[in-house]
Structure 1
Amino acid sequence: MQCLSDKSCRAFTFNVKTPVGRGPNCFLKNSQGDLDGNSAAISGLLLTRTEADPQTMHFGAIDPNTNLYKDVDIPGFDLSRKPFASAKRQFDCRMACVKEGRCAAFTFVKPKKECWLKSGVGQPRVMTGAVSGAKTPMTFAPNTVSLN
């Protein structure tokens, strides 16, 4: 209901796994933003009566709660000979992979702040300080709620 009373609010994300009072739990947004499959959040988009109903979305997601593996490297399959330069945090690396259609997985090397986007997943290996994740095809079907 907060979003309805804020004229600049066009979307929201509610973190369901953050204890109430230890939040913020609800984030108001002025646009849709990037798609990200996350089992700890529920998002919504406010549409006007003239906008089309939302469509079901299909994309590869890397859930940060269930699809990340600490101290694991995915050797080989690099999309580039150099690390992805603009991703200096694990979150940025994960999202770069989600946005890149050719990316199937990633490895982020924390000590070096290096992000390696991968075209496939071979045999994972132990690597202290690395975090890896692989895309999972996901479908998100919208629920329409009428406010009339």
Structure 2
Amino acid sequence: MDTPIRMLENTDEATKQTLENVRKRKEKFDKFERYHNQSIWATIILTSIFLIYLYKTVFTVYSYSFAAMFSAFVNDSNNLTFLVCCVGMYGGMNLLKEKKDKAEKEYHDLRCEIVDRSKDYWKKEDEWKNRHLVFEVMKKQYDINLYHEKK
């Protein structure tokens, strides 16, 4: 369990464990979001390099005939390698997007459950009055908003 969560007062162990779970899911979501963004940029850069390469080796040299351009494209094995890499990067980007969306749904569902069940987590009167301190720690330390269900 992370130190700021462990040090929370007016919170029982089960609630601390739930807060730790939402922290872990937020961390997982952030990791997949970062990987997805990196894969987007890698795909864009690789595709741009491929298009520049095609322009310099095929389009400018054989621009007089489509058949000559097609023949030059097919004859150069680098084009197939670049094309396979670009398609593979695009597929990897989509796979990471699915994982990011799944991690976001898990994180958001647990966060909404905490917001919905806050009366169950902080049952005593003094715990209920001081729950905003827990919410502030979660917002400040981990950027997890427990005040509202909306993102």
TM-score of the superposed pair, with normalisation by structure 1: 0.21
Larger radius of gyration: 2
More helix by share: 2
More strand by share: 1
